[in-house]
């Protein structure tokens, strides 16, 4: 009996872990350079599930709220101006350890420090044009997702490939 209960808890814990979500946003430079598809392809190829996506021109108010933790930094006004200079593509991705693994896929904030094979290591040169934003923790991901998407915009679905990505 205890073994069965533990097995059920193990399965539930694995399912919940696979449901971790992160916020990823292609910045105006990534959109202008036509890299949205390449970025989506990397997350899909890794095995993560896309649950929300928009193409929008973000308002300064939304961006100030999104980057509020950086508001005291001297580069903040330039960051908001830059991020509101063109359309962005905010997305929500789901999967096992997607926040941590997503950050690895992105590479370091400074592309010069990013390993080859990462998005920034392969596609960027300067910090101010590093094409993509990704949540740095599960809690910040929840906050960012709620800021950019309503609950109704998050699509719960099961891709056919899921059993080929995750063990039972």
Backbone angles phi, psi at 53, to 5 degrees: -160, 140
> What tokens does 93 get?
């991705």
- Alpha helix (H) ranges present in 68-128? 76-83, 98-106, 119-123
Residue 143 counted as an annotated binding residue: no
Residue 120 counted as an annotated binding residue: yes
Residue 75 counted as an annotated binding residue: yes
Spatial distance between the Cα atoms of 113 and 60, rounded to a whole number of angstroms:
29
Residue 103 counted as an annotated binding residue: yes
CA-based torsion, 38, 43, 47, 49: positive or negative: negative
Identify whether 66 is a catalytic site residue: no
Annotated catalytic residue within 133, 144, 145, 149: 133
Residue 27 counted as an annotated binding residue: yes
Residue 130 counted as an annotated binding residue: yes
Binding-site positions for ATP read 27, 75, 103, 109, 120, 130
Q: Which residues fall in the annotated binding site?
A: 27, 75, 103, 109, 120, 130
Give me the active site residues, please: 133
């Amino acid at each position: 009996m205890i073994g069965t209960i533990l097995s059920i808890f193990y399965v539930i814990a694995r399912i919940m872990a696979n449901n971790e979500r992160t916020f990823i946003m292609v910045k105006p430079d990534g959109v202008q350079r036509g890299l949205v598809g390449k970025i989506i392809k990397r997350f899909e190829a890794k095995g993560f599930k896309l649950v929300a996506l928009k193409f929008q021109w973000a308002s300064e108010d939304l961006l100030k709220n999104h980057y509020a933790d950086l508001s005291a930094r001297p580069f903040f006004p330039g960051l908001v101006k830059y991020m509101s200079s063109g359309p962005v593509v905010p997305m929500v991705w789901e999967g096992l350890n997607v926040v941590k693994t997503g950050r690895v896929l992105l590479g370091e904030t400074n592309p010069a420090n990013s390993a080859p094979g990462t998005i920034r290591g392969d596609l960027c040169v300067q910090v101010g044009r590093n094409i993509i934003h990704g949540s740095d923790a599960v809690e910040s991901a929840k906050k960012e997702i709620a800021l950019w998407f309503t609950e109704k915009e998050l699509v719960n679905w099961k891709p056919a490939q899921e059993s080929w990505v995750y063990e039972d």
